[in-house]
Structure 1
Amino acid sequence: MATTYFTEDHEWLHVEGDMATVGITDYAQEQLGDIVFVEIPQVGKGLTKGDTAVVVESVKAASDVYAPADGEVTEANETLSSDPALVNSAATGDGWLWKMKLSDKSQLDGLMNEAAYKAHIG
């Protein structure tokens, strides 16, 4: 069964087993404005929780997207190279950023569920 988690840095993770799909929330893409470039991670890249995994550039600013947990990148959303605006139109769907194999699932314990995240963004 899949579970969705949220970070204080406005990332979401959709976790099934030890695999996670990661993206930014609708709130984050709204704050960024029109996204014009996404620097996706290399497949096979090892990530440590808190590392910058992806850089998202909008007409307003560049923003780092952080690894929500330790793991290894297993897939990057190549579609974003040619269509970065997909993050704006489908942030929690087809606009996902990367998929990763989690190496320490206990790191998910400190993350929020959807209700807690909605309270966090107020």
Structure 2
Amino acid sequence: MKFTEEHEWLRVEEGNVVVVGITEHAAEQLGDVVFVELPDVGSTIAKDDEIVVIESVKAASDILAPIDGTIVEVNSPLVDEPGKVNDDPEGESWFFKVEVEDLSVLDDYMDEAAYKKFIS
């Protein structure tokens, strides 16, 4: 997995598909998540686009796209059960899957050790 300074994680799946979610640290900072709005499948995204809206009892925030690509799948159960983000943010509660042209864009992000140092 790779991690961004905005507390997102990225995990490569088969081919050039990257799964994106928020870290456990981010979920803890947000508190209880009460609303999630996901992008549309098939939409093209560019790095730093506002791609996911997430609201918690503490705050509302936008999740920015960490990479360019095309949305190939979203985790639609989160729309009906946004609290799942708090239960397993780095596993089953991913937000979307994006197909990218070049996986080397992930080289710009932190590995787990660097991320842990970043949040400490």
Deviations 1:40-89 (A, max 9, x none): 11001111111111011001111111111100100011101110001000
SS for the counterpart of 2:26 is helix
After superposition, residues 1-122 of structure 1 pair within 5 angstroms as 4-16=1-13, 17-122=15-120
Counterpart amino acid of 2:59? Answer: A
Task: State the 1:109 CA deviation.
Answer: 1.5
Structure 1 residue ranges, 4+ long, deviating more than 2 angstroms after superposition? 103-106
Task: State the 1:28 CA deviation.
Answer: 0.2
Counterpart amino acid of 1:97? Answer: F
TM-score, L = length of structure 2: 0.95
Q: How many residues align?
A: 119
| CA distance in structure 2 between the aligned counterparts of 1:77 and 1:25, rounded to whole angstroms | 16
TM-score, L = length of structure 1: 0.94
Flag structure 2 segments of 5+ consecutive residues without an equivalent.
Answer: none
Residue identity over aligned pairs, in percent, reads 53
| CA distance in structure 1 between the aligned counterparts of 2:79 and 2:65, rounded to whole angstroms | 20
| CA distance in structure 2 between the aligned counterparts of 1:95 and 1:109, rounded to whole angstroms | 24
SS for the counterpart of 1:63 is strand
RMSD: 0.9
